[in-house]
Structures are given as C-alpha cells and as structure tokens.
Amino acid sequence: MDIKQNYFEFYGLPEAYDLDLGQLADRHLELQKQLHPDRFAHLSDQERRLSAQYTAYLNEGYATLRSPLLRAQYLLKQRGIDTHNESSASIDPMFLMQQMELRERVEEAPSHADPDSELAALDQEVVAAMSEQQAAFRRAIGGTSEAELEAAAAAVRKMQFLDKLSREIERLEDELY
Amino acid sequence: MALLQIAEPGQSPDPHKRKLAVGIDLGTTNSLVATVRSGESVTLPDEQGRHTLPSVVRYQASALPEVGYEAHARAVEDPHNTIQSVKRLMGRGIADVRKLGEQLPYHFERTDEGMPYLVTAAGSKSPVEVSADILRTLQRRAELSLGGELTGAVITVPAYFDDAQRQATKDAATLAGLKVLRLLSEPTAAAVAYGLDQSAEGVIAVYDLGGGTFDISILRLSKGVFEVLATGGDSALGGDDLDLALANWLIGELGLGQDLSAAEARYLTEQSRSIKERLTDASQVEVELSVAGAHKTLTVTRDTFGELIKQHVAHTIRACRRALKDAGVSADEVKDVVLVGGSTRVPQVREAVAQFFGRPPHIDIDPDRVVALGAALQADVLAGNKPDSDMLLLDVIPLSLGLETMGGLVEKLVHRNTAIPVAKAQEFTTFQDGQTAMAIHVLQGERELVDDCRSLARFVLRGIPPMAAGAAKIRVSFQVDADGLLSVAAQELSTGVQSSIQVKPSYGLSDGEIERMLKDSYSYAQEDLAMRNLREQQVEADRLLQSLEQAIAADGTELLAAAERERLEASMRELRSLRAGSDYKAIEAGVKALAQASDEFAARRMDAGIQRALRGHSVDEIEEGR
C-alpha cells in the first residue's frame, strides 16, 4: 500500500463530500490499533519509525476528512484546484462586502457593551453562512462540467474567508477570559 | 542509553519472561512509582513502608545527595541546598523563573539566558540533574522491590507541558539510566486507572490540580481506546500558588515586610501548606506563628482562604470552558468528571468543579496515587507483557507549534489539540538577493507575536545557493512523536541541496552536555563507557533479531518470497555472529544493515495490518446489512 495514496482510499471510504463521520471515526480507531507507535514500543527502532510515519499520515488524513472545509479543499485538490495556496482569485463582490461588514463588527466586538453575546451572535452568523456555502459546494462537486468545478471552487474560497473569521472570533473569545 | 536486562552470552533472552516495567509520577511535591503485580496496579513503598517520595533533594559538599523525607526535614534549616518543587524549573529559562515571582530561596548561576543552574554545596545543578536524582531513587526502590533491572518506565508529565519541559523530563530519565517507554499525560494516566476499573465508555473530563501544575483534559473512551479530544491548563499554577497566596496574607497579618530571609519565607509557606491541608476538614484553623521577631496567634477560616484563592480557582474553570470548546462537546455531554492531584482536596476547588460540570466528581481512587497507577498499567502493555490488550492511548499536542516570520510574527504549523504523532511541512523563501543562510526560530504557544510565545530552538540553515529574493524554496518540516516531542528539519528544494541544521535548544541540555553529565554522574563512576556502549548495542541487536523472528514466524510465508526470506535470514545470521563479538561499532553497523534489509518486510506487515483493520470492518457491515 502506498502511503501517498488518497485519504479516502486509505480509509476504505467512497470519495465524496458526504461522509458518514461515525464510520470514519470507527475506521480511524481500528487503524490506530494496528499502526500506533505504542503497538511497537517493545520492538525495533525501525518498526517504531515506520509506525510513526504511518500514524502521522493517518492523523493528517483523519483531520482532513473530518473537517468540512479541509475535506472540500482536498476534494478540489484531487481535481487539480489548489484553493489553499493560490495567491489571487476573484471573489463575488457582494460576498466580499458582507465579509467586510462582518469583519468590522468582529473587530469592534471587544468594546461592545456585552462582548460575549455579541461574539456569540457573530459566531452564529458565520456558522449559518458556512453551511450555506457547504450546501453550494455539495451541489457543485457532484457534477463533472468545468462550470460546476468552478462553482465548487468559488464556494470553497468563501468557506476559507468564513473560516478565518471564525478563528478571529475564537481568538477574541480567548482574550476575554 | 538505558541499561536493559541482558541474558548470559550465548543465551537468547526468554521471550516469555515477564518484563519489569514501572509507571512513575514525577510530581512537583511528591513522586511515586507503581507496577502491575498479578494483574493489579500497585504503588511500591520504600523500606519504611512509605509510598510517596517527597520531590526534594538536598545537596551536600562531600556526601551523596539526600532525596525524599530526610531532605524535606532539612528544608527550612538548609534552604539553599535543599531543592523543592524543581518541576517548576524544568525546561524553563532563567528569565521565566524570575517571572514566576516566587520567593525561591536558591542561588542561581549568573547567566542571562539558557538554563537556570542552581548553586549548591555539591556544585552547580541543572533542574534536569535534580529530577534525575529523584528518578534514580524511585528506580532503586523499584529494582529492590521487584528483584531485577527495569526494562523501562512510563513517566507522566502534565498534559500542558510544552516541548522544552517534556524534553527536560526525558533528559532526566536518560541521566538516571532509565529507558522511557513513553511520556504520558497525567490526566490520561488517571483516566486509564479509572477507565479500566469501571470499563467506562463516553466522554470524561479529568481535572488535575497538582503541587505546581494545572491540567484539564477532555477524553473519549471507546473499546479500550482513550482518545484525548482537547487539553488545556497552566503549567505554572498549582498548590504552591495557593500556599503562596496564604503566605502573603500571613505576612500582612503579622505586619512583616517583604525582606524576609529564605528560611523565614520557607517557614511561612510550610505553615501555609499545613493550614491549607487542615482546612480541608476543619472550617477554621488557629495557628501560633513565630517568625522574624513577630509572635502572633492567628485564626484562618475556610472562607478567608477561599477568598484568597478565588482568582486561581476561577482561572482553572476558564481553562475548562476553553477545553470543552476545543473538544467540541458541551458540559452536559461529559459523563464523568475525575479529580486528580492533592490540591483537589481543597473544598472550594471541588465545589467549583462540581458546579461547572453539573455533577459530583469521582474521588474513589486516591488522587495522589491515581496517576502512577495508570502509568503502570500502560508500562505493562508497552513492555510487551500484554500482547492481547486492546488498550491504546491517543494524545494531542497541548500548544501550537510555529516559526518566526517577518516582523516578529509567528506562523503556526501545528495547531494545539492536533492528534500526535503528526508531521507537517511548509515552504518559506528568502528575503534578500543572494541570501545564503536562513535563521529558523521554532516557537510554541497561541499568541501571534514571537515575544509572547515560548522559544523552543533556533537553527541556522546554511548553504542556500545565492539566488534572487523569493526564488529559493526552503521546506521546513516538523515532526511530533507520540511523546509530544518535536524534531525539525529544513531543506532547500529548488536545487535539491540538502543543508544540515544544528539544533540549539533554548532552555534545554545539548546532547553533549547530557553525555558529559552521564560521564560525571556517580552511577557511572565505576563503569567503563565502552562496556556500556557494547551492552546498549547488544540490547538493540537482540531486540531487532527477536522482533524479526516473531515477524517471520507470523507473516514470513505470506509476505516474503523464498529468495527474500533467504536474504533476510542471512543478514540475521550475520548480526548474530557480530553480536557474539565485543566490537560495539560492528554490532551497530550490523543492526543498521539488518534494519535496512528488513525495511520492506516491515512496511508490508504494516500494510497487511491496515488491510486486516479494513477487512474486519467490511465483514461487520455485511453482517449488519443482512
């Protein structure tokens, strides 16, 4: 088995955006039981080294498939589009406007009268916008045409924006503690 | 480095013999050693029947250090040479130690950076050496009690320990001549002790407030697998801080200034600890204090003490909230709450935890012993004594790892609460035309600015071919092993030139220093270094040969062609004959050669394991489908 193979194949799961997360978790534990370095603690250095490599790959695969954003990015990458490392791509101006407004509100949240509730409300909005983009991605990635692929990439780029925003909210929440 | 058991020459080690393995809780205040005996995990007492060993070492000019109770008894009388709570200094720089703001009575060597060396009657001691002296004492206790040399130990560390603190702990074990089977998080060890007892399933929270550290871990238990979902805490908050808060209050009540001598300060913190402990059962305590010319009888109520430590307790609850969020579970999804560490005896702490999680916490296992008991259970599995065990502990990295980029900012490569082992790589480029070297600064922490994170190491990557700015591609890769220890490598990609890098640990010991300390160390004074090298290589050869024999017996027919098997067995014969000789370098080379020759076979066995794991699942599903 090639360690560079597709994560979906590694987990023996169909390559699709919709994934049974319970099944993924079960398989992850089964594979960990076979591969984790602790299984090789009393064996040779070479087996422990190999096992650490496999487990690192396994953990990376699990983190990728489990996260809706990383899974979407990964599916696109398999189709030749790397939205994670691209330097510039055009984004729907309407969406950008909304983002700027949201971002301003996030930046001002710490000086809000009730910063906790304001951040929680903003978080809710980001979550809602995120699931909207996930639905758009799900529709588009099922297709095979160039236009559908481009629509899927556009949805992922928006998800990346939203993800950054949600991290920013999390950071501000941490600072409030 | 470790001294392992060796069979008589010509005799192969008996694979059925039970290996002696222990779990060690290397605590701030007390340490313990435990092992599994007839299927049950037990802590091992000293010759006087005492199970805990105070983590106190007293150095003397011309005698071996005193460790434990006898050292503790001299703490007030000889404060400069008696080292307490050394765990708080592990992996820390001198500047951090000053920032701890404690009334540390020790004299530190005058250095502005690097490791804080303590000046004692027996010379300068690093915190790693002090910890090694505690470990040696526990090791001796275990070997006397079990009647043989130890195969290895699982040593527990706070889940929130950073890389430098973990590395320092591992170095201490190396100095003590102990083989580390695993560095295990204290809360995970506690969960194991509880989980195996009660065959629990579901999400549990472990709240661990020890003498000097605080951890909160959220774990999911499922079919013998303990998966850490998130961890949080403060590696500089513990019972010592509660004592200090009370001591400061006493100073105020006694009308004393801050210019107390080391002995006076230690008297007050010892009194505070005793008051704190008595307040667990009593609602108020009366003490007669006589210090620095002041004599007074004071009454301390539980409420007064509660007020003094309120900030600290609130801080731990905030960490619980964040850990739950990181784990993606709510407080009511937590099925069980486990308390660990002596400081969880404080009633205010218990109440706060019970209130936050909305359920009374478990206290059935002695909170002082539970960590060592869990560590022993894992040591037993890792030593190979329980081949059929399903138990597996999956851990995460507690703090994000990153690199310094332009403008003093930190670029994170591995985020906190990522499952380990993990490997990540990122590409960087040069800033100036013709740049041939690049400084790489590795950091750990959550903040965005370099100055707010912990500096782990600095590297210089040299030999980059001169190119225009931005043309070179430097790939920096991070690898974190199952112990949570990081290694970093860097490579220039565009030309394929591999440049080597030198690691300079910011607050740790270099390999050279460890080697020197090992040579200086009294446990090796009579031992010939060459003899030790030979024994180490023999152990490694035996381990490889034994595991290959087992592997061939299990999968040789299925996974090896006849010619491959013949080549492998020839290489094994070669190593066996080298093993019989006394040239450790030749054995080392033989081990390397055999490891290479069997690489492909080992990889095939891993793959077969993956296939088995997946096949097992499809069978289940077919059955479910019926």
B40 in active site: no
Is the previous residue joined to B421 through a cis bond, with omega within 30 degrees of 0? Answer: yes
Q: Judge whether B446 is closer than 8 Å to chain A, CB to CB.
A: yes
B281-291 residue pLDDT tens: 999 999 999 88
State whether A39 and A111 are in the same domain: no
Q: Judge whether A56 is closer than 8 Å to chain B, CB to CB.
A: yes
Query: Across the beta sheet with B392-394, what order do the strands follow?
Result: B336-340, B202-209, B214-222, B225-234, B392-394
The secondary element (H helix, E strand) that includes residue B104 is: none
Pick the last residue of a domain from A49, A66, A83.
A66
State whether A107 and A165 are in the same domain: yes
Query: Phi/psi of residue B460, each to 5°?
Result: -120, 120
Residue of A nearest to B419 (CA): A59
d(C-alpha B243, C-alpha A21), whole Å: 47
pLDDT along chain B (626 residues), means of 10: 43 60 95 94 95 96 91 89 91 77 71 77 91 96 93 94 92 92 94 72 91 91 90 88 93 86 88 94 92 89 95 93 91 91 92 94 88 96 86 92 89 92 89 86 88 85 84 87 88 71 62 70 57 80 86 88 91 92 89 88 84 61 39
Q: Is the pLDDT of residue A176 over 90?
A: no
For residue B594, the distance in angstroms to the closest alpha carbon of chain A comes to: 10
First to last CA, chain A: 47
State whether A33 and A107 are in the same domain: no
A165 domain residue, yes or no? yes
Secondary structure class of B110 (helix, strand, coil):
coil
A74 domain residue, yes or no? no
Measure Cα distances from B208 to A160, B218, B379, B542, B579 in Å.
37, 11, 21, 40, 47
Q: What is the ipTM of this complex?
A: 0.85
A126 domain residue, yes or no? yes
Q: Which of A1, A7, A20, A46 to mutate to test the interface with B (most CBs of B within 10 A)?
A: A46
Strands (E), B359-452: 392-394, 401-405, 409-414, 422-428, 438-444
State whether A98 and A29 are in the same domain: no
**Which pLDDT score is estimated for B505?**
64
State whether A108 and A151 are in the same domain: yes
Asked whether the beta carbons of residue B610 and residue A32 sit closer than 8 angstroms, the reply is no
**Which pLDDT score is estimated for B462?**
82
pTM above 0.90, yes or no: no
Q: In whole angstroms, what separates CA A148 from the centre of its chain?
A: 20
A52-68 residue pLDDT tens: 888 999 999 999 999 99
DSSP 8-state code for residue A43 = S
Which residues in chain B have Cβ-Cβ distances shorter than 8 Å to A70? Answer: none
> H helices within B27-160, ranges in order?
69-73, 94-99, 127-146
Whether B185 and B228 have beta carbons less than 8 Å apart is answered as yes
A73 domain residue, yes or no? no
State whether A105 and A38 are in the same domain: no
For residue B447, the distance in angstroms to the closest alpha carbon of chain A comes to: 9
B87 in active site: yes
> H helices within B106-177, ranges in order?
127-146, 163-176
Residue A112 pLDDT level (bands cut at 50, 70, 90): confident
Q: Are strands B392-394 and B225-234 parallel, antiparallel or unpaired?
A: parallel
State both tokens at B322: 């964040």
- Among the listed residues A108, A46, A147, the one whose alpha carbon sits nearest the alpha carbon of residue B545: A46
State whether A119 and A156 are in the same domain: yes
What's the CATH number where A163 sits?
1.20.1280
- Give the position of tokens 């060597």: B109
DSSP 8-state code for residue B177 = T
B597: Cβ–Cβ under 8 A, 6 or more apart, which residues? B567, B568, B571
Whether B190 and B316 have beta carbons less than 8 Å apart is answered as no
d(C-alpha B72, C-alpha B521), whole Å: 23
**Which pLDDT score is estimated for B317?**
94
Q: Judge whether B393 is closer than 8 Å to chain A, CB to CB.
A: yes
State whether A112 and A156 are in the same domain: yes
What's the CATH number where A33 sits?
1.10.287.110
State whether A155 and A119 are in the same domain: yes
State whether A106 and A59 are in the same domain: no
State whether A61 and A122 are in the same domain: no
- Give the position of tokens 């799961």: A13
d(C-alpha A173, C-alpha B526), whole Å: 58
What's the number of domains chain A is made of? Answer: 2
Domain housing A43: 7-66
d(C-alpha B557, C-alpha B559), whole Å: 6
A114-156 residue pLDDT tens: 888 899 999 999 999 999 999 999 999 888 788 999 999 999 9
Contacts 24+ apart (CB under 8 A), B355-361: B356/B317, B356/B320, B356/B321, B356/B331, B357/B205, B357/B320, B357/B331, B358/B331, B358/B332, B359/B334, B361/B207, B361/B337
A145 domain residue, yes or no? yes
β-bridge partners, B21: B152
State whether A165 and A116 are in the same domain: yes
- Residue B155: CA count within 13 A, CB half-sphere: 30
Q: Judge whether A29 is closer than 8 Å to chain B, CB to CB.
A: yes
B25 in active site: yes
Whether B255 and B247 have beta carbons less than 8 Å apart is answered as no
Find the catalytic residue in B78, B129, B208, B240: B208
A84 domain residue, yes or no? no
> In three state form, how does the secondary structure of B456-513 look?
EEEEEECCCCCCCCCCCCEEEEEEECCCCCEEEEEEECCCCCCCCCCCEECCCCCHHH
